[in-house]
Structure 1
């Protein structure tokens, strides 16, 4: 008898609301930012992107049996906010890159999981450590991205990050969600 367990843990509390799943051709629009609350509480904040990843898995009650893990990158519309008086296409690109960064780290997570987690026993032994390490790397990258670009204001740094993010998506393209 197979046991099925589905877990959805989100790195940014993406628990409720409309979700958009990351795709290469899909781009955010200002209409996707539906929160009425600026939870960043800064006067200079123009927008806030709530994104991250969710995972689910199916495993047998036999810990030596294969496990199937699915990892998806999501944007939560109801927790993403914009100041309608300040938005523009340049700011939207900066916010899109936050979503793209989430996809980069989803791919890194998929890669490590594919390499190290083959069975339920592997999951129990390795998944939490892999997940937490990549989560920290993701959070550090997002902070550095906003800090170094001053939330997209420094155009030269924004261009540099646009290039870095595109390269990382390309480097991990074989780990796109299937």
Structure 2
């Protein structure tokens, strides 16, 4: 029986251990970047953070029944890459901010979902559109963030985005 438990524990660790869920006290480190493939294919890319959201819900077949929706921000270790010859703490901070920005947009999504989706019927009617709009805003932000900071190389722009992201985390902290 002990062996079965140990085997299940090790397998679940392998399967589920490749995601880091965003938490204020959890910061990324270079060991979290486990992909061997630079899927960005750019010679100037020093690291790549693969992060976003996952959601789950419990709903009833009764359209008026309350619904429970959970949205989490995740960092995917097996899809995040680093160039071990060029990494440093400054680049790691830039990558952390990608993860933090994902949490800002997850909080915005949680807020809108909490305000507009109360029942199973609301979920069926509104969730997909709310999710897709928030996802587009999040993706646009991430592209703009990399573009304006030149992937973190422009220190003044990086500082500006550090502030913007910190303000977003604070503004939506109750979500």
State the TM-score, normalized to the length of structure 1.
Answer: 0.89
State the Cα distance separating 1:163 from its structure 2 match.
0.3
Which structure features the higher share of helix residues? 2
> SS at the partner of 2:86?
coil
State the Cα distance separating 1:115 from its structure 2 match.
0.2
Which structure 2 residue ranges, 5 or more long, are not aligned? 1-14
What corresponds to 2:33 in structure 1? 33
What corresponds to 1:103 in structure 2? 103
Q: Is the 8 A contact 1:66 1:119 kept in 2?
A: yes
CA distance in 1, matches of 2:47, 2:16: 19
Q: Is the 8 A contact 1:17 1:76 kept in 2?
A: no
CA distance in 1, matches of 2:128, 2:136: 12
State the TM-score, normalized to the length of structure 2.
Answer: 0.90
Considering only aligned residues, what root-mean-square deviation do their CA atoms show, in Å? 1.2
State the Cα distance separating 1:143 from its structure 2 match.
0.4
State the Cα distance separating 1:168 from its structure 2 match.
0.5
Which structure 1 residue ranges, 5 or more long, are not aligned? 1-14
Q: Is the 8 A contact 1:17 1:78 kept in 2?
A: no
1:110-161 C-alpha deviation (Å, 9 max, x unpaired): 0000000000000011101100100000000000000000000000000000
The count of corresponding residues between Structure 1 and Structure 2 is 161
CA distance in 1, matches of 2:16, 2:46: 23
What corresponds to 1:9 in structure 2? none
CA distance in 2, matches of 1:122, 1:100: 29
1:151 and 2:151 are equivalent in the alignment: yes
